[in-house]
Protein backbone atom coordinates (compact mmCIF):
# COMPACT_ATOMS: atom_id res chain seq x y z
CA UNK A 1 0.00 0.00 0.00
CA UNK A 2 2.78 2.49 0.82
CA UNK A 3 4.33 1.86 -2.60
CA UNK A 4 1.02 2.76 -4.26
CA UNK A 5 0.77 5.93 -2.14
CA UNK A 6 4.31 6.84 -3.11
CA UNK A 7 3.51 6.34 -6.80
CA UNK A 8 0.31 8.37 -6.48
CA UNK A 9 2.20 11.15 -4.68
CA UNK A 10 4.85 11.11 -7.42
CA UNK A 11 2.21 11.29 -10.17
CA UNK A 12 0.40 14.10 -8.36
CA UNK A 13 3.69 15.95 -7.90
CA UNK A 14 4.48 15.61 -11.59
CA UNK A 15 0.95 16.72 -12.51
CA UNK A 16 1.34 19.80 -10.33
CA UNK A 17 4.66 20.57 -12.02
CA UNK A 18 3.04 20.23 -15.44
CA UNK A 19 0.17 22.54 -14.43
CA UNK A 20 2.59 25.06 -12.90
CA UNK A 21 4.79 25.06 -16.00
CA UNK A 22 1.68 25.49 -18.19
CA UNK A 23 0.59 28.50 -16.16
CA UNK A 24 4.11 29.92 -16.33
CA UNK A 25 4.19 29.47 -20.14
CA UNK A 26 0.85 31.27 -20.48
CA UNK A 27 2.22 34.19 -18.44
CA UNK A 28 5.40 34.34 -20.49
CA UNK A 29 3.44 34.27 -23.76
CA UNK A 30 1.16 37.06 -22.52
CA UNK A 31 4.16 39.22 -21.56
CA UNK A 32 5.78 38.44 -24.90
CA UNK A 33 2.67 39.63 -26.77
CA UNK A 34 2.54 42.80 -24.68
CA UNK A 35 6.19 43.55 -25.46
CA UNK A 36 5.61 42.85 -29.17
CA UNK A 37 2.67 45.28 -29.26
CA UNK A 38 4.77 47.90 -27.47
CA UNK A 39 7.63 47.37 -29.93
CA UNK A 40 5.27 47.79 -32.88
CA UNK A 41 3.85 51.00 -31.39
CA UNK A 42 7.38 52.35 -30.90
CA UNK A 43 8.28 51.40 -34.49
CA UNK A 44 5.24 53.33 -35.75
CA UNK A 45 6.32 56.33 -33.65
CA UNK A 46 9.85 56.02 -35.06
CA UNK A 47 8.49 56.05 -38.62
CA UNK A 48 6.39 59.12 -37.85
CA UNK A 49 9.34 60.93 -36.28
CA UNK A 50 11.62 60.07 -39.20
CA UNK A 51 9.01 61.45 -41.60
CA UNK A 52 8.76 64.64 -39.54
CA UNK A 53 12.56 64.92 -39.44
CA UNK A 54 12.80 64.64 -43.22
CA UNK A 55 10.09 67.28 -43.64
CA UNK A 56 11.88 69.60 -41.22
CA UNK A 57 15.19 69.16 -43.06
CA UNK A 58 13.50 70.10 -46.34
CA UNK A 59 11.86 73.08 -44.64
CA UNK A 60 15.19 74.20 -43.19
CA UNK A 61 16.80 73.92 -46.63
CA UNK A 62 14.04 76.08 -48.05
CA UNK A 63 14.46 78.75 -45.39
CA UNK A 64 18.23 78.80 -45.76
CA UNK A 65 18.36 79.45 -49.52
CA UNK A 66 20.27 82.54 -50.61
CA UNK A 67 17.33 84.00 -52.51
CA UNK A 68 15.08 83.79 -49.45
CA UNK A 69 17.72 85.34 -47.18
CA UNK A 70 18.36 88.11 -49.72
CA UNK A 71 14.63 88.84 -50.00
CA UNK A 72 14.27 88.99 -46.21
CA UNK A 73 17.26 91.33 -45.93
CA UNK A 74 15.89 93.63 -48.61
CA UNK A 75 12.46 93.65 -46.96
CA UNK A 76 13.37 93.93 -43.27
CA UNK A 77 16.57 95.94 -43.40
CA UNK A 78 15.71 97.83 -46.59
CA UNK A 79 19.13 97.08 -48.06
CA UNK A 80 19.84 97.75 -51.73
CA UNK A 81 22.73 97.13 -54.07
CA UNK A 82 25.05 100.19 -53.94
CA UNK A 83 25.45 102.31 -57.05
CA UNK A 84 28.80 102.62 -58.80
CA UNK A 85 29.68 105.95 -57.19
CA UNK A 86 29.02 104.47 -53.72
CA UNK A 87 31.58 101.68 -54.20
CA UNK A 88 35.11 102.20 -52.88
CA UNK A 89 37.90 99.86 -53.96
CA UNK A 90 40.63 99.41 -51.39
CA UNK A 91 43.97 98.12 -52.59
CA UNK A 92 46.28 96.52 -50.05
CA UNK A 93 49.79 97.98 -50.23
CA UNK A 94 52.56 95.54 -51.12
CA UNK A 95 54.98 94.70 -48.32
pTM above 0.85, yes or no: no
- Tens digits of residue pLDDT in 27-60: 999 999 999 999 999 999 999 999 999 999 999 8
Mean pLDDT computed over 1-25: 93
What percentage of the chain carries pLDDT values higher than 90? 58
> What's the CA gap between 19 and 8, in Å, rounded?
16
> What's the CA gap between 87 and 67, in Å, rounded?
23
Mean pLDDT computed over 54-70: 87
- Confidence class of residue 73 from pLDDT cuts 50, 70 and 90? confident
Please give the C-alpha separations between residue 22 and each of 11, 15, 26, 55, 83, in angstroms, as whole numbers. Answer: 16, 10, 6, 50, 89
Reply yes or no on whether the pLDDT at 1 is more than 80.
no
3-class state of residue 91 by DSSP: coil
Amino acid sequence: MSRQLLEIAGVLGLAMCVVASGIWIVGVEHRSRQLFMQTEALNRELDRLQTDWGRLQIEQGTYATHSRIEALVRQRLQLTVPSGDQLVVVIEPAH
